[in-house]
Amino acid sequence: MYRFAVGGWVGGLWPVSACHVVELTKWIKQRLPCSPVDNLSGSCHAYTRYMDLTALINDCACLKVRTAARAVTRFYDDAFRPVGLRGTQLSVLVAVASSEAVSIASLSRMLGMDRSTLTRNLRPLEEKGLVALGPEGHHRSRTLSITSKGEQLVRKALPLWEKTQEKLCEELKKPHWTNLHAELDHLIKAAEAL
């Protein structure tokens, strides 16, 4: 919830959710004759603060990337439903399968996940018998390996992944697909450098 300071009106602070942005814009423009830079006191203050929130909703890189990630994740989750996996789980399984035994720390770096998120994502895979978590070793590190059941599931899921990738690539068209990967790599490096 966002709170808007509305000078002079009863109620003082009004709670408004992000879904009401369009209606609120119309309402404010009808009632406030000033521009966002006119008068920073009184009723115009609400309009100024509102404009900052509109910029956040329309221009925020974090919001855009997370919205895109959720949409793509839903698409992949739907595709992997027949084999009982989620998109994030297949990525983890493939990463574990790519080496004989991998530590949670190195796997979290490989996938760009923090260890607690990775551990949470590993739990259902371990419960289903798809990965095996080794005992604690040096410096309390634990290794992971994929089980034969996990390998079989990856083999079933890979054709679904290929089909899903192909659909998304076709929807985006070839130059956009290539540019998207390059831009996302650039975004990841830039964000990590900050």
The answer to whether 85 and 44 are in contact (CB under 8 A) is no
Q: What is the pLDDT of residues 107-141, one digit of tens each?
A: 998 898 998 889 898 999 999 999 998 776 666 67
Residue 140 DSSP code: G
- Hey, what domains does the chain have and what are their CATH numbers? 2-59 (no CATH), 62-193 (1.10.10.10)
pTM of the shown model: 0.67
Q: What is the pLDDT of residues 155-170, one digit of tens each?
A: 999 999 999 999 999 9
Q: How many helices (H) and strands (E) does the chain have?
A: 8, 5
82-117-185 Cα angle (round to 5): 85
